[in-house]
Amino acid sequence: VRITQRAVALTSLQGLNRNLDALGKLQQQLTSGRVINAPSDSPTGTNRAMQTRAEQAAVAQQARNIGDAGDWLGQTDSTLRLMLETTRRVRDLTVQGLNAGNGSDASRQAIATEVASLREGLIGLANTKIQGRPLFGGTTSGAEAYTSAGVWAGISGAPVTRRLAENEVVRVDITGPEVFGAAPDDLFAIVERIATDVVTDPSLLEGHLTDLDTTISGMLKGVADVGARAARIERVALINSDRSLALSSQLAETENIDLPNTIMKLQMQQVGYEAALSATAKALQPTLLDFLR
Amino acid sequence: VSTFSGLNAATTSLWAQRRALDVTGQNIANVNTEGYSRQRADLQAIGGSAVPAFYSKGTGIGGGVNADSVLRIRDAFLEGRGHTEHANSARLAEEGAALTLVEQAFREPGDTGVQSLLSEMWAGWEDVANNPKDPAARGQVLQRLDTLVDGINFSHSALGAQWEQSRDNLEVLVADVNAAAESIAKLNQAIQRATQSGLPANDLTDQRDVLVMKVAEQIGGTARPGKDGMMDVVVGGISLVAGSTATSFTVAGTLAADNTTADPVRIVTSTGGYAVTPGGTAQGQLTAMNQIIPGYRTNLDNLAVQLATTLNTAHTAGYDLAGNPGVDILDSSGGPISAASLRVAFSNTDLIAASKQAPVGGVPSLDNGNADEIAQLRQSMTGVDASYRTMIVELGVQAAVTERSLGIQQVITTQVDSARESVAGVNLDEEMTNMLAYQHAYSAAGRLVTAIDETLDVLINRTGVVGR
């Protein structure tokens, strides 16, 4: 084969260019910290990266949903506990009213007044709002769950829900009738009857007390229900944060460079490039001219 | 045999070796000249008279050496291969560049591409589901939808700009090819005249071959040797240069990226308008303009239509804040929905249909059923996200395949180039050796003259002196 100086120079130059190109690619990976800079770098990797990113966005959103669901249930729980305390006080007063069946009118009147004011407090609590929505109003767009007369004003069709994961939806609300009993025998009606009957007809108080106990046990059931759901949300929150971490590391595995590996490769490429440079310098220099006199 | 014939032979040798040295000098001077083909003085022995004549009989010894012609060494077959491979390289490089630009228009994978805009938009619907009453949550989902639509519009117009750039580039390229064809024709004419009058045209031929290679790279021309050292250039069956006349090409076809199916961009002859099937860079540009870019623009259009259909169908199934049935949330700014005309239909946040329940007794329901359902559309295996991902993966595969083919093609091209160079290139060692040989031959011929001179001196001056 006839070899010419120019052919040697051309092929050397191409080899050097290829070396430099590989070096540049590694450098780009190191400086950007990413293996995949364009879909053509790895089509399957791109697909995985895009899917992982989409999932990450969904999981981040679900984390927000979970936090929000926790707020709702926490608020419901504390409101229900406050209302239970008040209701117990009403029960105590009712028992007092029973025992004071032969007491003075004045003391009955006092009991009636206190029960009536407790009832107002109960209605106020039952209208507690979160994010501008009444807790016990179901899906109503109105401002209150109970009117000042103690009549439920909510909508009970669809539950208020939060999505905790792709396939997991949890109900975060509990409607008034579910927890306080349905009209006409709900908490507020019973308490109102007590307030009236403690003065007018104490003999009916016995019956009201039984009703009140049923309602209290209904409220306790509600508290337990809300607590169980809160526990479920806590569990999901743990799973969610685990998933978020797993997805981050998955994305890093797909997209980010393996630092030691890449630095090693860069070093090797650099050694190769320098060797090619010095070899080229040596091969291109001598001609017969150097040896003729 | 004449007394002085030896002297004559030595003279032809002196003359021929000098000429060969001159050629060596020319070779060394052009060792780095692009497209230079090495030359060689064609030395031929002048034979003795081989035809017997009545009174004159040769002794069989020749009359010296002849160095009239200077050969240009180049392999026409390798040149042809070179044209083909250079054209293939140029075509693949152009296609690869076009696909790289398309990749840049989509900005994937990353935080700024359409995929992440889609994810944010779906997450926005879940925020609305969490808090269907909050105007802020409703406002942000509209904003995110707007950003997504902007992203799709942007990618579409980036592809359009790339298309227009390619169209301009093709015009410039064709003008360049026409100019090169003109020069080739002129050189052909000069070569013809030189050949006919028996003058060397090697350096003109080198210049012309460089131009032919350039035309091959740009538009995929093939060369056919003609008479008197001329060369014809043919592009896809249409003659570009025939002897000393050149035809010119021009770019025809649509000026708008949207119209490539009905009126594709093509190269035609300036007179007659016959279609030319080009190779090389021009072919790559035509592929980019007629297939690659319109293909991805159509994909984006389909994506826009799919997004609008999916969202509108889901949105109209719900009820807005006032309890009215939902309206279309995406529409077109004019004409049918496409990636360019897609836009958000309203800016009033109350119109977002987050509820699934019809109003009860005139009181609108504040459930989040519809917003939640819309947010879950992202999971659909046949949904917008999945279609978009499929498109990006296809783009990645296409670009990667082109890149790999280009790598392979470049190796082939370099091999052909070095084969061409090994035939036509100048080797300094060889020239040095030749120089030594010619120099020594020159000295030897000189010495021969001296030897004959001394012989004659003996004959003329020293003979016949006996008894003087």
**Nearest chain B CA: its distance from A220 CA (Å):** 26
Q: Do A131 and B131 touch (CB under 8 A)?
A: yes
> Which range, A95-104, A248-257, B90-99, has the best average confidence (pLDDT)?
B90-99
Interface probe for B, chosen from A25, A35, A44, A46 (most Cβ of B below 10 Å), is A46
**Nearest chain A CA: its distance from B38 CA (Å):** 11
SS3 call for B334: coil
Do residues B39 and B26 make contact, with C-beta atoms less than 8 angstroms apart? yes
Q: What is the mean pLDDT of residues A267-276?
A: 92
Whether residue A102 is predicted with pLDDT greater than 90 in this model: the reply is: no
In this predicted structure, which of A105-114, A262-271, B98-107, B294-303 has the lowest mean pLDDT? A105-114
**Nearest chain A CA: its distance from B6 CA (Å):** 32
**What is the structure's pLDDT at A203?**
84
**What is the structure's pLDDT at B459?**
86
Whether residue B1 is predicted with pLDDT greater than 60 in this model: the reply is: no
Whether residue B58 is predicted with pLDDT greater than 80 in this model: the reply is: no
**What is the structure's pLDDT at A270?**
92
**What is the structure's pLDDT at B374?**
93
Please name the member of A7, A11, A163 whose beta carbon is closest to the beta carbon of B372: A163
Structural element, H or E, at residue B72? strand B70-72
**What is the structure's pLDDT at B291?**
94
Q: What is the mean pLDDT of residues A244-254?
A: 92
Please name the member of A2, A43, A53 whose beta carbon is closest to the beta carbon of B427: A2
Whole-angstrom CA distances from B218 to A75, B65, B214 are 74, 46, 6
**What is the structure's pLDDT at A139?**
84
- Cα B368 from Cα B133, distance rounded (Å): 9
Query: Which residues 61-100 of A are in CB contact (within 8 Å) with B?
Result: 61-62, 64-65, 68
State the pairing for strand pair A133-134/B245-246: unpaired
Question: Tens digit of pLDDT for each residue in B159-198?
Answer: 999 999 999 999 999 999 999 999 999 999 999 999 999 8
**What is the structure's pLDDT at B296?**
94
Q: What is the mean pLDDT of residues B88-108?
A: 93
DSSP A29-55: HHHH-BS-SSGGG-HHHHHHHHHHHHH
For residues B415-448, one letter each, b for 16 or more C-beta atoms within 10 angstroms of the residue's C-beta and e for the rest, the string is ebbbbbbbbbbbbbebbbebbeebeebbeebeeb
Residue B79 — very low, low, confident or very high, per pLDDT cuts 50/70/90? very high
ipTM of the complex: 0.78
SS3 call for B283: helix
Whether residue A34 is predicted with pLDDT greater than 90 in this model: the reply is: no
State both tokens at A95: 């028992």
State both tokens at B254: 């649509």
Q: What is the mean pLDDT of residues B365-369?
A: 86
**What is the structure's pLDDT at B125?**
94
Bigger pLDDT: A214 vs B58:
A214
Q: What is the mean pLDDT of residues B440-447?
A: 94
Residue B52 — very low, low, confident or very high, per pLDDT cuts 50/70/90? low
- Cα B330 from Cα B173, distance rounded (Å): 42
Say if A233 is an interface residue toward chain B (CB within 8 Å): no
Phi, psi of A168 (to 5 degrees): -125, 115
Question: Tens digit of pLDDT for each residue in A187-246?
Answer: 999 999 999 988 888 888 889 999 999 999 999 999 999 999 999 999 999 999 999 999
- Cα A16 from Cα A280, distance rounded (Å): 9
Q: What is the mean pLDDT of residues B96-116?
A: 90
Whether residue B66 is predicted with pLDDT greater than 60 in this model: the reply is: yes
Phi, psi of B114 (to 5 degrees): -60, -35
**Nearest chain A CA: its distance from B65 CA (Å):** 27
**What is the structure's pLDDT at B111?**
83
**Nearest chain A CA: its distance from B29 CA (Å):** 13
**What is the structure's pLDDT at B128?**
92
Whether residue A10 is predicted with pLDDT greater than 90 in this model: the reply is: no
**What average pLDDT does chain A have?**
89
State the pairing for strand pair B222-225/B231-235: antiparallel
Please name the member of B368, B375, B399 whose beta carbon is closest to the beta carbon of A39: B399
Query: Which residues 122-141 of B are in CB contact (within 8 Å) with A?
Result: 122-123, 126-127, 129-131, 133-134
Interface probe for B, chosen from A16, A50, A250 (most Cβ of B below 10 Å), is A50
**What is the structure's pLDDT at B299?**
94
DSSP A67-110: HHHHHHHHHHHHHHHHHHHHHHHHHHHHHHHHHGGGS-HHHHHH
**Closest residue, chain B, to A10 (C-alpha):** B418
Say if A173 is an interface residue toward chain B (CB within 8 Å): no
Say if B324 is an interface residue toward chain A (CB within 8 Å): no
**What is the structure's pLDDT at A100?**
65
Whether residue B54 is predicted with pLDDT greater than 80 in this model: the reply is: no
| Closest to A139 measured CA to CA, from B137, B323, B125 | B323
- Cα A293 from Cα A135, distance rounded (Å): 105
**What is the structure's pLDDT at B57?**
59
**Closest residue, chain B, to A141 (C-alpha):** B366
**Closest residue, chain B, to A53 (C-alpha):** B116
Q: What is the mean pLDDT of residues B231-248?
A: 93
Question: Tens digit of pLDDT for each residue in B254-306?
Answer: 998 888 999 999 999 999 999 999 999 999 999 999 999 999 999 999 999 99
Q: Do B357 and A65 touch (CB under 8 A)?
A: no
Whether residue B56 is predicted with pLDDT greater than 70 in this model: the reply is: no
**Closest residue, chain B, to A41 (C-alpha):** B400
Which chain B residues have a beta carbon less than 8 Å from that of A3? 422, 427
Q: What is the mean pLDDT of residues A280-286?
A: 78
**What is the structure's pLDDT at B412?**
92
Say if A288 is an interface residue toward chain B (CB within 8 Å): yes
Q: Is the peptide bond before B109 cis (omega within 30 degrees of 0)?
A: yes
**What average pLDDT does chain B have?**
91
Q: What percent of chain A clears pLDDT 70, i.e. is strictly above it? A: 98
**What is the structure's pLDDT at B50?**
65
**What is the structure's pLDDT at B319?**
92
Question: Tens digit of pLDDT for each residue in B315-361?
Answer: 999 999 888 999 999 999 988 999 999 999 999 999 999 998 888 77
**What is the structure's pLDDT at B60?**
64
| Closest to A87 measured CA to CA, from A59, A126, A131, A54 | A126
Residue B2 — very low, low, confident or very high, per pLDDT cuts 50/70/90? low
**What is the structure's pLDDT at B94?**
95
DSSP B1-37: --TTHHHHHHHHHHHHHHHHHHHHHHHHHTTT-TT--
Whether residue B206 is predicted with pLDDT greater than 90 in this model: the reply is: yes
**Nearest chain A CA: its distance from B362 CA (Å):** 11
